[in-house]
Amino acid sequence: MEHRRLGSSPVEVTTLSFGGAAIGGLYAPVSDADVTAAVRRAQERGIGYFDTAPHYGAGRSERRLGAALSGEYVLSTKVGRLLVPLEPGEPPEPEGFTDPPPYKRVWDWSADGIRRSLEESLRRLGVDRVDVVYLHDPDDHEGEVYATAYPALAALRDEGVVGAIGAGMNQTAMLTRFVERLDLDVVLCAGRYTLLDRSAEKDLLPACERRGTSVVIGGAYNSGLLAGGTTYDYAPAPPEMLERVAGLERVCAEHGVPLRAAALRFPLRHPAVASVLVGCRNTAEVDDNAELFEMEIPETLWAEL
Closest CA to 130 of 141, 121, 139, 143: 121
pLDDT digits (tens, 9 = 90+) for 22-38: 999 999 999 999 999 99
Can you give the pLDDT at residue 136? Answer: 98
Could you give the domains of the chain?
3-201+211-237+252-294 (3.20.20.100)
With beta carbons less than 8 A apart as the criterion, state whether 282 and 31 touch.
Answer: no
Helix (H) / strand (E) element for 135: namely strand 132-136
* Average pLDDT along the chain: 97
Longest CA span, the chain:
61
- Mean pLDDT in residue range 264-285: 97
- Mean pLDDT in residue range 138-147: 98
pLDDT at residue 234 tops 90: no
Backbone torsions φ then ψ of 8, nearest 5 degrees: -100, 15
pLDDT at residue 216 tops 90: yes
Q: What is the DSSP string of 69-104?
A: --SS-EEEEEESEEEEEPPTTPPP--TTBSS--SEE
Burial 203-239, CB ≥16 within 10 A → b, else e:
bbbebbeebebbbbbbbbbbbbbbbeeeebbeeebee
Closest CA to 271 of 209, 211, 194: 209
Helix (H) / strand (E) element for 139: namely none
| Percentage of residues of the chain with pLDDT beyond 90 | 97
DSSP state of 26: B
Measure CA 26 to chain center.
13
- Mean pLDDT in residue range 189-208: 98
Can you give the pLDDT at residue 160? Answer: 96
- CB burial class (10 A; 0-12, 13-18, 19+) of residue 260? buried
pLDDT at residue 188 tops 90: yes
pLDDT digits (tens, 9 = 90+) for 79-131: 999 999 999 999 999 999 999 999 999 999 999 999 999 999 999 999 999 99
Can you give the pLDDT at residue 211? Answer: 98
Can you give the pLDDT at residue 63? Answer: 98
pLDDT at residue 191 tops 90: yes
CB atoms within 10 A of CB 85: 10
The amino acid at residue 97 is F
Hey, CA dihedral for 43, 47, 50, 51, is it positive or negative?
negative
pLDDT digits (tens, 9 = 90+) for 117-136: 999 999 999 999 999 999 99
With beta carbons less than 8 A apart as the criterion, state whether 17 and 243 touch.
Answer: no
Helix (H) / strand (E) element for 231: namely strand 231-232
pLDDT at residue 163 tops 90: yes
- Mean pLDDT in residue range 156-170: 98
Catalytic residue positions, numbered: 56
Give the whole-angstrom CA distance, residue 46 versus residue 27: 27
Task: Give the 3-state secondary structure of residue 186.
Answer: strand
- Mean pLDDT in residue range 133-149: 98
Backbone torsions φ then ψ of 206, nearest 5 degrees: -60, -40
pLDDT at residue 205 tops 90: yes
pLDDT digits (tens, 9 = 90+) for 259-272: 999 999 999 999 99
With beta carbons less than 8 A apart as the criterion, state whether 267 and 7 touch.
Answer: no
